[in-house]
């Protein structure tokens, strides 16, 4: 065995250290380590116990049967009886059977090595042999070396998880801060208009002409609608982002939904020119009709807002695995540097941020709804020649 351990020192120790250092999943890495060391360092079972609520409460986090105990994993020893003692003493413990029996599975030789962080013991690795031979001094040293490598691997990955959680938490806090800032800014505009025109109408020192009163009331009505839309979008975006925006899926006809959306849009914008191009019969889709209408309404509304007086062309066509819908306008378009950002929450193109009302939530909501349908939405644009939004919805 001495020669075998010398051999592993010169051939694979570096490889084992690399596995520990580069591993992204310590349990999968341990499978590979077991495979590589077992020809040199014989054991039948390997178990890793890690602390849970308290240091003395250890639970199995990894168990591997590789030899004589493999056929009866549940009925043989896994070293759980000595884990607490290893943690209490803080050093390696060897345990041998009191008396030899005919059944090797009842004669475990245990080598238990503590896992150590900087200031404390947090687990135990146990190597088990059934029926001997006993672990010798060189094998104990090798086991302690390997456990040190395993400990470094586990701690590194736990630290990486902790860092990722902290980064996610910081990102969430930043999103919440941006959300509150944007919300405050967006709510001030309609509330300011409503308050200002209402206060003006309530003045007792002036008699406003009927036409002026109606103009002010129309502005109040429009800003109230804007405020309602903003609140609805905020609620929608929060539900969809948290995964709580439940969709009511059913079999539907896409052409019927688009015709309804176009009819509604023409009522709101009598001068709006919309062309619907469906060149082949469309199969039924599985989707939420209300949410899909919301997406189509939003895209048409975007065009009327950012490309006023431009016609809108909607082209629908069948593909092998689904249906594609293109919404195209012929307005000013979107700069190339911003095209990848327009589906981000609260993002608004710099050119239009001060010219038009908007919360930067509409396209974010569209993307979440289409994703919930297992589809995709994207945009292409040629500045000065318009924008095309492309939607793909898979067939059931």
Domain at 115, CATH number: 3.30.450.40
Is residue 169 in a domain?
Answer: no
Write down which residue in 142, 158, 174 finishes a domain.
158
pLDDT category at 1 given cuts 50, 70, 90 is very low
Q: What are phi and psi of 325, to 5 degrees?
A: -130, 125
Output the pLDDT for position 179. Answer: 66
Are both 152 and 263 inside the same structural domain?
no
Are both 147 and 255 inside the same structural domain?
no
Of 14-28, 60-74, 235-249, 366-380, which one has max mean pLDDT?
366-380
Are both 153 and 276 inside the same structural domain?
no
**Any idea how long the chain is?**
396
Is residue 182 in a domain?
Answer: no
Is residue 89 in a domain?
Answer: yes
- pLDDT(8) > 70: no
* % of the chain residues with pLDDT over 90: 21
Output the pLDDT for position 5. Answer: 55
Give the span between the Cα atoms of 241 and 94, in whole angstroms. 54
Are both 22 and 136 inside the same structural domain?
yes
* % of the chain residues with pLDDT over 70: 81
CATH (domain of 300): 3.30.565.10
* pLDDT (tens digit per residue) in 339-374: 888 888 766 666 555 555 556 778 888 898 999 899
- Is the pTM here over 0.85, yes or no? no
Are both 127 and 13 inside the same structural domain?
yes
- pLDDT(2) > 60: no
What does the DSSP assignment read for 95-149? E--SS--S-GGG-EEEEEEEEE-SSSEEEEEEEEEES-PPP-HHHHHHHHHHHHH
Are both 149 and 262 inside the same structural domain?
no
Count other C-beta atoms under 10 Å from residue 167's C-beta.
Answer: 10
Output the pLDDT for position 86. Answer: 85
Answer whether the bond into residue 300 is a cis peptide, omega within 30°: no
Write down which residue in 158, 192, 215 finishes a domain.
158
Pinpoint the alpha helices (H) of 271-319: 289-306
Residue 352: Cβ-neighbour burial (10 angstroms; 0-12, 13-18, 19+): middle
349 in Cβ contact with 342 (< 8 Å)? yes
Output the pLDDT for position 244. Answer: 60
Is residue 219 in a domain?
Answer: no
- The number of distinct structural domains making up the chain is 2
Mean of all residue pLDDT scores within the chain: 81
56 in Cβ contact with 80 (< 8 Å)? no
pLDDT category at 23 given cuts 50, 70, 90 is low
Give the 3-state secondary structure of residue 378: strand
Structural domain of 68: 2-158
Are both 20 and 147 inside the same structural domain?
yes
Is residue 165 in a domain?
Answer: no
Write down which residue in 105, 129, 158 finishes a domain.
158
């Amino acid at each position: 065995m001495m020669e075998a351990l010398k051999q592993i020192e010169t051939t694979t120790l570096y490889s084992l250290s690399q596995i520990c250092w580069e591993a992204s999943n310590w349990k999968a890495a341990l499978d590979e380590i077991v495979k590589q060391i077992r020809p040199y360092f014989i054991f039948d079972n390997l178990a890793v116990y890690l602390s849970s609520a308290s240091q003395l409460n250890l639970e199995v986090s990894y168990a591997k049967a590789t030899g004589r105990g493999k056929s009866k994993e549940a009925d043989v020893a896994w070293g759980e009886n000595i884990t607490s003692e290893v943690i209490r003493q803080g050093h390696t413990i060897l345990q041998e059977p009191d008396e030899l029996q005919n059944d090797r599975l009842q004669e475990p030789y245990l080598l238990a090595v503590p896992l150590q962080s900087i200031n404390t013991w947090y687990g135990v690795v146990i190597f088990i042999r059934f029926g001997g031979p006993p672990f010798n001094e060189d094998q104990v040293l090798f086991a302690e070396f390997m456990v040190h490598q395993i400990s470094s691997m586990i701690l590194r990955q736990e630290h990486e998880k902790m860092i990722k959680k902290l980064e996610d938490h910081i990102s969430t806090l930043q999103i919440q801060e941006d959300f509150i800032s944007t919300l405050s800014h967006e709510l001030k505009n309609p509330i300011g208009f409503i308050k200002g025109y209402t206060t003006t109408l309530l003045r007792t020192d002036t008699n406003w002409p009927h036409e002026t009163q109606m103009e002010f009331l129309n502005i109040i009505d429009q800003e109230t609608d804007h405020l309602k839309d903003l609140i609805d979008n905020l609620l929608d975006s929060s539900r969809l982002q948290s995964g709580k925006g439940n969709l009511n899926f059913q079999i539907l006809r896409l052409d019927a939904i688009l015709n309804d959306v176009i009819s509604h849009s023409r009522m709101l914008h009598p001068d709006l020119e919309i062309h619907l191009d469906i060149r082949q019969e469309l199969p039924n889709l599985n989707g939420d009709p209300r949410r899909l209408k919301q997406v189509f309404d939003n895209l048409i509304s975007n065009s009327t807002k950012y490309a006023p007086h431009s016609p809108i062309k909607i082209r629908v066509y069948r593909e092998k695995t689904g249906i594609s819908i293109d919404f195209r306008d012929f307005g000013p378009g979107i700069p190339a540097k911003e095209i990848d950002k327009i589906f981000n929450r609260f993002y608004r193109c710099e050119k239009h941020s001060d010219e038009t009302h908007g919360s930067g939530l509409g396209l974010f909501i569209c993307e979440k709804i289409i994703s919930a349908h297992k589809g995709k939405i994207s945009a292409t644009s040629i500045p000065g020649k318009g924008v095309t939004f492309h939607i793909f919805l898979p067939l059931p």
